[in-house]
Structure formats: structure tokens, C-alpha cells
Amino acid sequence: MLISLHMPKTAGNSFRTALESAFGDSLRLDYSDMSKIQEYLSGNVLAENLAEHLSVELSPNLRCIHGHFLPAKFLPFKNRYEMQFITWFRNPVDRLFSHYNFFRRSYDPKAAGPLFRRIIEENWSLERFCFCEEYRNLYGKYLWNFPWDNLDFVGLTEFYEDDLKFFSKRFLGTKVEALRLNCAVNGGSDNNAIDSGLRREVESFHSEDMALYNRALHDRSLRT
């Protein structure tokens, strides 16, 4: 069973389409933890009790779960269901730019959560967004209590087509189409103009995510 963690703004919707093509009705989506991550990290939910928060019923016929969730909640079931854990990363600074621009162009006051509403209604600048604690080291937040060695595949958005080809061959045994969905409306980059000094400050503020990203780059270079 594949457990596919969708890190925000890392081509997760595009990858979901590939998984839907490969798995059909044996795929389940789990976006149940999106509003709970800060609660978990604050200590209100103990790591050993995470498994109680499964929103997808596990069964031998289920072949893939994809979404925004804390993968640690699946670890107690890893051996029973022969789980393989996969995710995608993107350069953390570029991911932040993309996340910020996505918020600004997709705001719906009727559906937005409290933090999303604050960002838009208080007209946060890109800089304020990049240095807010709520989105600091987002990869690290999602990987809370989840050792790196449990990841069987980490794709990189910057190499999406090549990494999808590698993933398909290794995990699916068949080729899937590399569609790109939910990209910037301008058809180009989500990057905002930012000077190198500020970029270094953002990298330093998100140093845990930069370390995770660089580890993914290193692991990618060792693929055979």
C-alpha cells in the first residue's frame, strides 16, 4: 500500500491525477489533518495516540492513500499492510512563494480558515508570510515523529517529469502521464522578485526544511 503525503504546493494535485489513473477505486484521499497539525504539534495529541485519528479505513484491498496528513499516524500499521511512504518536495523558498501567491489568487472568505483569512484580510506582505511561525519549516511539521528512513521515495517538483518516470517504473511498473495541474495562472513561475540577501534570510529561518530538501537532493543523486 502506498502512503502518499501531499506537501502543499509541490505538484500534489498533478501527482494525485497520476495516482487516480494508476489505482482507480483503490485510491483514497485523506485531507483530514490540514487543520489539526498545529494542535498535534502543541502536544494536545500524543504521538502514540496518532493512530486513533485515522480517517481512512484500512483494508487489504486499499492500494493507495494520498493527501495532507501526518504520516506518523500510519506507522503502527506499516508492517501489517506492507506500506511504502512517498512524498514530493520543492525548494522551500520557492514553495513559500507559490503558497503565498496561491492564497492571494484563490481566497474565498466563505471557505477560508482563520489563518488564511488573516493573511488576506490583513494584507500580509510576502516577507511577513515567509517569516511567520505558522508556516515555518512546513516539511518538518508534516514529518513530525516520522523518521526520514521511512520514506521510500521523495520526488522533487523541479524534476517532476523525470522523477515521475522513475516513480512509475519503480512503484507502479507502468508509465503514467505527467500532467501539471493547479500551476500559476500566468503559466510561468510563482516566484516573486527577491534579492539574494532576503532569500538567504528566508533559507536560514526555514533551515530545517532546507536541510530536508538538500537531503532529498542528495538521495536523488544516488538513485540507480
Which residues lie below 8 Å from residue 211, measured CB to CB, with a gap of 6+? Answer: none
Grid coordinates belonging to 97: 512563494
CATH code for position 134? 3.40.50.300
What's the total number of domains in the chain?
A: 1
In terms of phi and psi (left: phi > 0; alpha: psi -120 to 50; beta: otherwise), the region of 9 is: left
CA pair distance 52, 50, nearest whole angstrom: 5
User: Model's pTM, two decimal places?
Assistant: 0.87
At 186 the pLDDT is 37
For residue 105, give the C-alpha cell: 489568487
Cα dist. 91→17, 55, 98, 156, 207 in Å? Answer: 22, 30, 11, 8, 12
**CA-CA distance, 63 to 147, in Å (whole number)?**
22
Domain residues for 169? 2-221
The three cell numbers of residue 138 are 512546513
pLDDT by residue, tens only, the chain of 224 residues: 999 999 999 988 899 999 999 999 999 999 877 666 666 655 555 555 666 768 788 998 999 999 999 899 999 999 999 999 999 999 999 999 999 999 999 989 888 888 889 999 999 999 999 999 989 999 999 998 899 999 999 999 999 999 999 999 999 987 777 665 555 433 334 555 678 888 999 999 999 999 999 999 999 999 97
Rounded to an integer, what distance in angstroms lies between the CA atom of residue 43 and that of residue 86?
A: 26
- When the pLDDT of each residue in the chain is averaged and rounded to a whole number, the result is 87
